[in-house]
Amino acid sequence: LHPLALTLQNKHLRTIAIVAHDFCFYSRHGEWWKAKSLSTKREGFIPSNYVAKVNTLETEEWFFKDITRKDAERQLLAPGNSAGAFLIRESETLKGSFSLSVRDYDPVHGDVIKHYKIRSLDNGGYYISPRITFPCISDMIKHYQNAWEIPRESIKLVKKLGAGQFGEVWMGYYNNSTKVAVKTLKPGTMSVQAFLEEANLMKTLQHDKLVRLYAVVTKEEPIYIITEFMAK
């Protein structure tokens, strides 16, 4: 089990209005579409950047079609975004290709933006790492957004190391092979959100001298935070 290098948070970097089923579009005039509401029968013009075909990348809030690498960095470093904030953009250097830009935190340099090439397969799939491929970019994003979540069945609790008001700490094994520390939350003792704030902080603070977060189990109680096991 290795700490995950790529964790994505779905930040609202922009507001999108997707106009689809309730409108009939007649024609495009420069940066505007002439449209008619099917419910009110009223006609008017809608900015073209507020219109997208359903089930396309343009309808995703994380997709920025015409944005440069520098603009992506500026957007992601803006106040209100934190480590894990991301966007997908068209590649500036390779037409028809895409890049993933992610905000991260470096203990030395502070907030940084990392860029990853999204490579395409001959069969239409996509990947960042060749170890795992996806049929579409949306599936790839969903995978990395949920990459910290693992099945409860993959964790075996072996020895209780301590207990407190809110939960217990166990030594256990991930997939019966990797020794880990497991922090559990007693149901009803504190909010799940407050408990997971520790995990969110650990996602950001990855450092050789800090205990590393490996994964979480949050789909049902009791909630687990799985970290590196540090022997005394």
Q: Which residues are annotated as a binding site for ATP?
A: 183
SS3 220: coil
Q: Rounded to whole angstroms, how far apart are CA atoms 227 and 180?
A: 6
Q: Tell me if 81 sits within 8 A of 13, measured CB to CB.
A: yes
Peptide bond into 187 cis (omega under 30): no
Q: Alpha carbon 96 to chain centroid distance? A: 23
Q: Which two tokens stand for residue 229?
A: 């096991």
Q: Rounded to whole angstroms, how far apart are CA atoms 74 and 123?
A: 34
Q: Tell me if 113 sits within 8 A of 73, measured CB to CB.
A: yes
Residue 188 makes CB contacts below 8 A (sequence gap 6+) with: none
Position 212: which residue type? R
- Long-range contacts of range 51-54, CB-CB < 8 Å, 24 or more positions apart? 51/18, 51/19, 51/25, 52/16, 52/18, 54/18, 54/20
Alpha carbons within 13 angstroms on the beta-carbon side of residue 112 total 9
Annotated binding site: 183
Q: Rounded to whole angstroms, how far apart are CA atoms 176 and 218?
A: 20
